[in-house]
Amino acid sequence: MSRRLARVPIPPRWRPAVLGLGLFVLLAVQFAVMFFSAAGDSATYDEVAHLPAGYAYLEVGEYRLNPEHPPLIKDLAALPLLFMDLNFPAEAYHSPSTAVNNQWEFGQRFLFGSGNDADRLLRFGRLPIMLLSLATGLLVFSWARELFGRAAGIVALLLYAFDPNLLAHSRYVTMDLGITFALFLHLYCLWRYLQKPGRARGALAAVTLAVALVTKFSAGLLAPVYLVVAGLLLLGERGSPWPRSGRRLGGLAVIGGLGLLLAWLFYLLHTLQLSPETQRALISQMLPEGTLANVLAGFSDHVLLRPIAQYVLGFVWIAQSVEAGRVAFLFGETSTAGWWYYYPAAILLKTALPLLLLVPLTLAVWKRLPRQDRFTEIYLWLLPAALLLAGTQASLNLGIRYMLPLYPFVFVFVSRLAGLWGTGGARLDLGPRVARLALPVLLVWYATTSLTAYPNYLSYFNELAGDRGYRYLADSNVDWGQDLKRLDAWLEQTGLEEIRLDYFGRALPEYYLGEKYRKWTVQDGRPQGWFAVSVTRYQLSRLSEPSYSWLDGLRPVEVVGGSIFVYYLADSSHRTALVIGTRDEAMLRRCPIG
């Protein structure tokens, strides 16, 4: 296997510079797309809790708000805010009239009700997440290049930089991109240690394990990955590519132990200012009475045990939420129990079609592509397999964002197709020859699809779903409350002074829309005149009566950002709708219902 870009007329001394330029261009385009598309997004649902909570951790030193998620990503996002002159709503933070974890009340007050500029806070708070995304892209490039050569590294990075789902969630103060980065980083470092054990590599693997553990509780999926790796080492002792697998097994145990110790230390720093009374109040608020709650409450009295109580509290709360589920929408149906095929369906509908084609194409010409030892080939699929298996068992069906960590591994896997470029076409069979020609076509299609989705990456669906993806999925697949600013811009453009809105999200519509906003809910019935509804409110209303099913026969006047439907309801029959013209033309004209 050649690791050089064969048949490329570039002098050897220039190749590092050309490679560096290619990396810079791809990452620069990715950053520009993330930054400028995020500028048009209002606060998404979870950002209203995460960013203010992180600022409270750093400002007050108390890990009290939003304990159902580890603090690392919130800390990073809030760091730029420390250099701003912000108003801290102490009365909302210490309010005795609310639950001790009053994250939503405090978050809304901090962002929208204390004289702070919410757009400015979000703009700077999102920057660290974007930088983490760039770092993830470099990791994808590095691992693919190490396995399959420079060309494969560039292909893998291109796939990462233009992935619509990763672009969508690389722009928000949420845990999803962070855990994608942390899991990929750790498994890359662990793989390098297993390839060539050493103290430095082992220490790096332990540190990155701790990073994953304090990023999101789904890092618990590393437990089955570790068990499978240990099993492969045991089974491969005789035929293993490594003569001393026992040493690697011992190293695996040490890495796991050190990672847990470092995660405990990180939590210790965050719980030093957390009083026993506050932690016990959190436990009482988030867990039912029982043995576990009593044990954790007992831990609160000991400063060294308090971090364990806080971590277990968040982990158990998330585990219970996953098991209990929430109302979800799939293929026109609603459920609180979920569907085992929810995440496979979300992947099928929201993954760019060229990427879906690249996977079977890679498998079809497998025998003619660069490959690694059997352990590495299996290792690349351990986390994706664990994630998919967990998804089929979960009742919590909220969005493809939970599957984001599998994508970087897929990019590395299919990047080996670039190895065909280093092989003379005349020496290839028909299948590899077709794959060699198809790869650049699929990559151009992939990048074009991504750029044409700008700026509405959260509501992106591939060609299988078309422009009606909202009929199949809801929540963070389409609508996470991100389009209030775009709705306001549309109202300004059309000159409308009032609109009734049923909004899905934790942002405050009046902050963005001002006096034009009139609150509406499904219980208020059918309005007259201008009416807007978030896709998620529209679809989840099907769970009970009353619902918005009476909108099913109407075509929206406008779909704002892919997530807010705007209607003009002119008469009681609701069999006609109106569409917008320009200011210089007649504003409204009748059109048939689609």
73-111 burial: b if 16+ Cβ within 10 Å, else e? bbbbbbebbeeeebebbeebbeeeeeebbbbbbbbbbbb
Place of tokens 């509908």: 349
**Residue 505 to residue 479: CA distance in whole angstroms:** 9
Residue type present at position 496:
L
State residue 256's pLDDT score.
97
User: Is 550:561 a contact under the CB 8 Å cutoff?
Assistant: no
Angle between helices 176-195 and 222-235 (to 10 degrees): 20
State residue 241's pLDDT score.
59
Question: 188: how many CB neighbours lie within 10 A of its CB?
Answer: 20
Alpha-helical regions (H) of 39-175:
47-60, 72-78, 90-93, 103-112, 118-148, 150-161, 164-169
What is the pairing mode between strands 333-335 and 328-330?
Answer: antiparallel
State residue 394's pLDDT score.
85
**Residue 206 to residue 259: CA distance in whole angstroms:** 5
State residue 457's pLDDT score.
97
Q: Which two tokens stand for residue 321?
A: 């939420």
Closest CA to 160 of 127, 194, 135: 135
pTM: 0.91
353-378 burial: b if 16+ Cβ within 10 Å, else e? ebbbebeebbeebeebbbebeebeee
3-state DSSP of 89-119: CHHHHCCCCCCCCCHHHHHHHHHHCCCCCHH
User: Is 201:193 a contact under the CB 8 Å cutoff?
Assistant: yes
Q: How distant, in Å, are the alpha carbons of 145, 345, 455, 462 from that of 449?
A: 25, 20, 12, 9
User: Is 391:343 a contact under the CB 8 Å cutoff?
Assistant: yes
State residue 524's pLDDT score.
93
State residue 235's pLDDT score.
80
State residue 588's pLDDT score.
42
**Residue 45 to residue 49: CA distance in whole angstroms:** 8
Closest CA to 588 of 513, 497, 496: 496
**Residue 481 to residue 500: CA distance in whole angstroms:** 16
Beta bridge pairs of residue 578: 590
Strand locations in 423-563 (E):
499-502, 517-519, 529-534, 558-560
**Residue 228 to residue 386: CA distance in whole angstroms:** 10
Return averaged pLDDT per consecutive 10 residues of the chain, 594 residues in all: 47 75 94 97 97 96 94 98 95 75 93 96 98 98 96 96 98 98 98 94 98 97 95 70 73 96 97 93 91 94 96 94 88 90 96 97 88 90 96 90 97 94 63 86 97 96 92 95 97 95 96 96 94 96 90 92 94 44 36 30
Alpha-helical regions (H) of 351-483:
353-364, 374-379, 382-393, 407-414, 430-452
**Residue 160 to residue 176: CA distance in whole angstroms:** 15
State residue 374's pLDDT score.
87
Question: 26: how many CB neighbours lie within 10 A of its CB?
Answer: 20
State residue 428's pLDDT score.
64
DSSP 521-535: -GGG---SEEEEEEH
**Residue 587 to residue 242: CA distance in whole angstroms:** 74
**Residue 450 to residue 320: CA distance in whole angstroms:** 36
State residue 2's pLDDT score.
39
